[in-house]
Amino acid sequence: MTSTDRPRLAVRSPADLLAAVPYLLGFHPADSVVVVALRGRRIVFAARADLPAPPEDPAHPARHLAGVVHRQRVDAATVVGYGPAARVTPTVDAVREALGEAGLELLDALRVTDGRWWSYLCTEARCCPPDGRPYDPGTSPVTASAVLAGQVALPDRAALAARVAPVDGPARLAMRRATDAAERRLVDLVEASPGSGPPGGRALHEAGVTAVREALRRQRRGERLGDDEVAWLSLLLTHLSVRDHAWERTDGRDRDIALWSDVLRRAEPEFIAAPASLLAFAAWRAGEGALAAVALERALAQHPDYSLAVLLDDLLRRGVPPSDLDGWPAVGPPGVVRPRRRRRRAGR
């Protein structure tokens, strides 16, 4: 599910819309149904689901998509199905019905296969011939505008997942060695820490705050963390007070996404839950719902009960707009998240 707080793309025809969809999602969809939602004349949201495989009922993803889109407080939508007619048509029909029940105006319903598109609503052979209309997104001015604005459309969802895939080969071996050294360093820190609280509690928190601050500073300067720094940070993030400190300082900035993507890819599997969740939060805040989803898939596959990942996954699946939670998180005691009221502007 993707909010579209990005440079505006001028969409004037079905072909323009089809050229825009990959940039709204972040990748070129296949075997998918996509709903593009508008508020007034502006595209504000795009949601995608896999086409159901027979004998799965197409009404299930249709109701889910319609509910997600309806929560965005939009006025109208266009449905696009990608794939053969036998699979696309029942799903598009179910989504159309569900959107109508939600009170949304249906602008168009399209099917795309092999570089051609068809409209389910147009019956004029002159503009909507039975064999479809060819389109080439590579020649569209929408594509040119998106590229000029720095937007990226990866070849498919697998390419998006590769952005958060773990490093391998020599890079993985180097990280294992760095993590072994970081674990020994952590033991030394705990053993040297006095106090009656949890073992090393204060010292661990202070070390974590320092590591997070240094990582953010290095990222602002365009510097990449070394293996020892990533290993040390990933260990410290397993402590909730450190994770929450990093979470409060993470937003939808490009540098936040870059930092936590790098840490996620390089951290050892047992330590990925926090950086994956921080990346998902940053991507969600930036309107990159698809990137947030693949980050959460990595987190939950390895750590299915990690509470922050479970919370963010629920927000993403329900299509909660990031703007609904401006000022969030407000973190109390470690791991306890409190809603924060939006700040009121002066004079109101």
Decide if pLDDT at 249 tops 60.
Answer: yes
User: How far is the C-alpha of 182 from the C-alpha of 176, rounded, in Å?
Assistant: 10
What are the tens digits of pLDDT across the range 250-270? Answer: 998 999 999 999 999 999 999
Alpha carbon 111 to its chain's center: 25
- Name the CATH code of domain 2-154 (choices 1.20.210.10, 3.40.140.10, 3.40.50.1000, 1.10.730.10): 3.40.140.10
Average predicted confidence (pLDDT) for the chain:
88
- Nearest residue to 228 via CA among 236, 238, 240, 239: 236
Of 197-206, 229-238, 303-312, give the lowest mean pLDDT range: 197-206
Of 12-16, 39-43, 173-177, 198-202, give the lowest mean pLDDT range: 198-202
Q: Is the pTM of this model over 0.85?
A: no
Q: What is the mean pLDDT of residues 1-11?
A: 57
Decide if pLDDT at 75 tops 70.
Answer: yes
Q: CA torsion, points 155, 156, 161, 162, in degrees to nearest 10?
A: -30
